[in-house]
Amino acid sequence: MGTGSSGSRRTSTGKPRREISVLRLGHRPGRDPRLTTHLALAARALGARRMYLNPPDPDLAQRLARVGRRWGGDFEVVPAPDWRRVVRDHRGTVVHLTMYGEPIDRAVPRLRRGGDLLFVVGGAKVPPEIYRLAGANVAVGAQPHSEVAALAVALDRLGGLPTARAFRGAERRIVPTVRGKRVVPTRRP
Ligand code: SAM
């Protein structure tokens, strides 16, 4: 991972200079909740502001809301029954992550100038029109792997790890330690 703590990528409140959203296509509610949950957790922890979910899954959204209450921040899972509308309404660059796309290292300098970003990630299959609707089709290596891995690398390259301030309002926080686990409450119950 790159140098996520780089001051120039963030404002003084710890927010990224460009807002990052994720659109997850092809979620299968009830069949495969774990992968999409991990995608949302990675998006939240690595600096995205929201994840649009198609088709919607209220249980998953509630799970992430619980994570937010406990660990802070304002990440949200937004139901997206009409994903084309999310793509159309996005003000900024729509970046479809696909192994068939342009190498990420080549795309990054352009995307850094492109304002807010919407990363689109698929499941087993994506609707073919997304290749045309996206402003960029970007590959994290030209091999098949996972939407979680692809998103994590893309967020690291284009955002960087959020500072602790981005997770304000947490009930608890981790005190990083070399060995063992240390978690402290941040406010009285
Ligand atoms: N055929 C797919 C593709 O277009 O990348 C692989 C399907 S993979 C199971 C599910 C999702 O993971 C894809 O829709 C894509 O968003 C992401 N993904 C997998 N490998 C990737 C890669 N090398 N680069 C970028 N994204 C990738």
The domain spans of the chain are: 20-185
Which one of 8-12, 52-56, 161-165 scores highest in mean pLDDT? Answer: 52-56
Tens digits of per-residue pLDDT, 86-135?
Answer: 999 999 999 999 999 999 999 999 999 889 999 999 998 899 999 999 99
Q: Domain 20-185 has what CATH class?
A: alpha beta
Q: Could you tell me if 69 and 189 are in contact, meaning their C-beta atoms sit under 8 angstroms apart?
A: no
Among the ranges given (73-77, 85-89, 160-164, 176-180), the one the predictor scored with the smallest mean pLDDT = 160-164
Which candidate, 43, 18, 16, places its Cα nearest to that of 116?
A: 18
Q: How far is the CA of 144 from the centre of ligand 1 (A)?
A: 6
pLDDT at res. 4: 35
Nearest CA to ligand 1 atom 14: 122
Task: Give the distance (Å) from ligand 1 centre to CA of residue 75.
Answer: 23
Q: Could you tell me which residues come within 8 angstroms of residue 151 by beta carbon, excluding any fewer than 6 positions away?
A: 22, 39, 42, 43, 46, 97, 119, 121
Atom of ligand 1 nearest to the CA of 26: 14
Q: Specify the pLDDT at position 160.
A: 81
Residues with CB under 6 A from ligand 1: 97-100, 121-124, 126, 139-141, 143-147, 150
Which pLDDT score, from 0 to 100, does residue 14 have?
56
Separation of 66 CA from ligand 1 center, angstroms? 28
Higher-scoring residue by pLDDT: 123, 12 = 123
Mean pLDDT throughout 138-163? 95
Q: Which pairing describes strands 117-121 and 93-103: parallel, antiparallel, or unpaired?
A: parallel
* pTM score of the predicted model: 0.90
pLDDT of residue 15: 57
Closest residue CA from atom 23 of ligand 1: 99
Could you give the C-alpha distances from 158 to 9, 104, 167, in angstroms and in order? 9, 10, 19
Cα–Cα distance list, 6 to 111, 135, 154, 172 (Å): 17, 27, 16, 25
pLDDT at 188 over 80: no
- 153 vs 187 pLDDT, higher one: 153
> How far away, in angstroms, is 109 Cα from ligand 1 center?
21
Sort 187 into a burial class: Cβ within 10 Å, 0-12 / 13-18 / 19+. Answer: exposed
